[in-house]
Chain A
């Protein structure tokens, strides 16, 4: 399919003798929000890191925007990397730089954008994520967890990416903050037309954002499809994850959500 932004074919990951991923195929379509869920140790974060080119699978290929992450010159790879933004779980802000400089850094690294335009763009991005000007000069150590995530999101968006990776976007936030952060991501995605790949444990986040959900278990993607179809799939992990007390509560809204989340695709059962 040529509208795969991320195309993973026959991916295997082994750590020593331990197989984490067994022959995984995955396609992320343009404009969707794909969530990866799975038990701890199921290799969600590893898969995310492989999509980012931070780790290399033992076998198989990961293509992003139709290009392999392992071929091409350093310049080509850099251009490719500018087309995506990443929000790390702990924010990964540079602790030696202020909020403003953290967001300005990727723009300054381009070496072609003048400082005036950088100032306007950084101001815009920070306003977009709801950081007020009085916080611009603060250092990351002085920020609350929610603000760190917002600044990290602004930095991830600094280079106007088409693809956004989120690693546990709401982990460590209180329910109120987490809800407003989810709303922020949903708004930005709509405004900027982003494709989002997200790893999360949080059912509320999952339900609120995902257009498709991929479940990693038994070293494979056991099911991938819209939320309500995945939740109805029979598998031990899914039963524990979605059909427990918390799961049922979070899915309560899915009936209504399903109508607009429906992408019209059948759930593809992998493997």
Chain B
């Protein structure tokens, strides 16, 4: 056995030789292994197909033969051991596992209209199942929280604190950057419009209300959903894959208490603080832009802000932050718990968690907008 590659001496080849008795013999030569075959495969298959059935086969000059080569020949022979086959004894063993019938791939299921109809139903059923599981998870967490009130010593303080650090403190940088830039852009675009009407001073009202009431909470929630929500889903999902969740269950540690509740509480605390921070940064950006574009001084901007924005907006924003935090953590953990122990499910689960968390945040924000439409606005 020698190294076979592009070496012409090893190129698999066949030639027809007429025997004295009028029969035809096919003599194979070269290396009939996958490495050499793959270079010349289509041409060789065609030539093998043209050999006909009443020839004798001589494999004695074949340098190497492996399953791929043997399979090619087997197919040319019509899936049977033909008579008049001459081969080297060391190649004999290769044919022992060859079966006369080909393995049949399972036929692909065709989509019929009934199938499509049923798949719509299945989607609805899955959506309902998600809803039911989410409610069940929420129930578990409430029960856990009640337990914790009765036994304050069991409060998972360390987990909560670690989660606040990860989801809150470590998100300060990105929320500051995004908040500041949004503030600058919003202020710049609005000031152009306001200047046409000579209503320059109302920039404070526009920025104040929109940022404190709407943009700050939603922006922070979307960033945190993308950043921490995906991390939560992936963490719980990997724990499922590595059977850590089962280990916790066996040790009598409920996951809802040690894994999920701390995340929910931590995000309920951290997200309002992040909202506050994002508000501050966005207002700072807006203030800077207003100063450059409209010449409104920082002192005037800050001084008129409390008059322009009723304090109810501020509390509304923080309240939204807390609700969004709970929802993001719940949705993320819910998707994490549904992950199956395989890599594909992990990817799908994480994507779904982020998309669902952001969608839920925006839907709930709309509910807030309708419910509190009379509060905090003159």
Contact = CB atoms under 8 A, between A and B. Distances in A.
Interface of A: 30, 65-66, 79, 82-83, 94-96, 100, 110, 112-114, 117, 119-125, 127-128, 133, 136-137, 139-141, 159-160, 162, 190-193
Contacts of A65: 3
Contacts of A191: 93-94, 96
Contact of B72 (A117, A140, A192): A117
B93 to A, nearest CB: 5
13 contacts: A95-B341, A95-B344, A96-B343, A110-B34, A114-B41, A117-B72, A119-B105, A127-B103, A141-B340, A141-B341, A160-B35, A190-B93, A191-B96
Interface string B1-39: 101010000000000000000000000000001110011
Where chain B touches its partner, the secondary structure class is helix
B102 interface: yes
A96 B342 contact: yes
Give the 4 A-B CB pairs with smallest separation, nearest first.
A123-B103, A95-B342, A96-B344, A160-B66
Contacts of B97: 124, 127-128
A117 B342 contact: no
Interface residues of B, number: 35
B102 A160 contact: no
B106 interface: yes
B1 A117 contact: no
Given A121-B71, A133-B103, A193-B1, A113 B94 contact: no
Contacts of A122: 103
Contacts, number: 86
Interface in B31-60: 33-35, 38-39, 41-42, 45
Contacts of A125: 67
Given A114-B45, A120-B74, A124-B98, 14 more contacts: A96-B342, A96-B343, A96-B344, A117-B45, A119-B103, A121-B71, A123-B103, A124-B97, A125-B67, A128-B97, A137-B106, A160-B67, A191-B93, A191-B96
A120 B75 CA distance: 9
A123 B96 contact: no
Contacts of B1: 30, 162, 193
A127 B75 CA distance: 17
Given A119-B103, A123-B103, A193-B1, A79 B35 contact: yes
Nearest to B34: A160
B363 interface: no
A144 to B, nearest CB: 14
